[in-house]
Amino acid sequence: MRDIQTIITPIDFSENAESIIESAAYIAGKLNAHLHLIFVIQNFEDYSGIFVPPVNLPNLEEQLLESAQKKMNELVENKKDFITNSGVKELESAVLTGDVTDEILGYTREKRGDLIVMGTHGYKGIERVMFGSIADKVVKTACCPVLTINPYRKNCEEELK
């Protein structure tokens, strides 16, 4: 196994995103690695069976991209001190569009990612039924190790006693 120099961390802007970022930054800091935070906007084509897009779809897609980039910038700014203090070598962020799993894997290959750190929970409700578990798909098809974090199991110390 090669040294871990680049860590890719997909986030979904859910309430769990900050916890996932902190875990990934901690690991990246310990390994003196680069950290890449990515968010993927799901393709509209995936909703074609249940969603009739408005006539001005290009404008909607552009607005979603701008909004997601703004949210990413805010999240990075909010976590900047934690990330810096964790010893992360370098931080990059990106907003992508397409199939979520394909984009995560493609970005990982492109950036020569050595480790993917991601949450086990993101989508909920009908979206999870429609798209399945992104984490499960990534674990099964990634070209590098994948570390999954269950954000709902924050403190297991009581269970260990």
Digit-by-digit pLDDT tens for the chain (161 residues) are 679 999 999 998 888 899 999 999 999 999 999 999 999 998 766 555 555 555 566 677 788 899 999 999 999 999 999 999 999 999 999 999 999 999 999 999 999 999 999 998 655 554 444 445 888 999 999 999 999 998 776 665 555 55
Whole-number pLDDT of residue 131: 44
The predicted structure's pLDDT at residue 61: 77
Radius of gyration of the chain (CA): 16
pLDDT value of position 155: 61
Q: What is the DSSP letter of 159?
A: H
Distance from C-alpha of 129 to C-alpha of 111, rounded to nearest angstrom: 30
Could you tell me the residue ranges of all domains in the chain?
A: 6-160
Class of domain 6-160: alpha beta
pTM recorded for the entire structure = 0.84
Spatial CB neighbours of 92, under 8 Å, sequence gap ≥ 6: 34, 35, 36, 37
